[in-house]
């Protein structure tokens, strides 16, 4: 699917506009239809909508929007939707990177866990020594 998005990203503005117009038409009418006489660019745009999962076959020669297709329209068109998807991917990468950095920080703190035991042993030894000295002097 990513290669398809990349291919669409390189489309001419007219082709993207055709896709956006078909999405809006499908939303308004409830379907988009095509025939063998349909222009090639429209047929290609309908095929692209189906490949991307924005529409599904309603009958032999018509398509209706999927939930994803409605999301594309709500985003303001295909290019804005694509930018949102790319932005979400970048955000996920940033979250993973910062989570990894935080996790490494926690691992570093746990690296020196044995210091806690050493300090605890020293304090326990000193407390025991002090109490022995105090009680043996009385």
All structural domains of the chain with their residue ranges: 2-89
Tens-place pLDDT, residues 101-110: 776 666 556 6
Going by C-alpha positions, the residue among 27, 21, 2 that lies closest to residue 78 is 21
CA distance 46 to 41: 9
Flag whether pLDDT at 5 surpasses 60: no
pTM as predicted: 0.55
Task: Give, in words, the CATH class of 2-89.
Answer: mainly alpha
């Amino acid at each position: 699917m990513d290669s398809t998005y990349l291919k669409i990203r390189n489309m001419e503005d007219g082709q993207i506009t055709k896709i956006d117009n078909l999405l809006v038409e499908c939303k308004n009418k409830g379907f988009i239809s095509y025939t063998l006489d349909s222009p090639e660019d429209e047929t290609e745009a309908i095929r692209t909508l189906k490949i991307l999962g924005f529409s599904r076959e309603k009958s032999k020669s018509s398509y209706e929007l999927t939930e994803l297709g409605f999301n594309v329209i709500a985003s303001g068109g295909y290019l804005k939707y694509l930018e949102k998807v790319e932005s979400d991917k970048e955000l996920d990468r940033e979250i993973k990177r910062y989570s990894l950095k935080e996790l490494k920080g926690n691992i570093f703190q746990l690296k020196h866990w044995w210091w806690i035991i050493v300090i605890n042993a020293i304090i326990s030894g000193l407390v025991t020594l002090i109490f022995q000295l105090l009680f043996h002097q009385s």
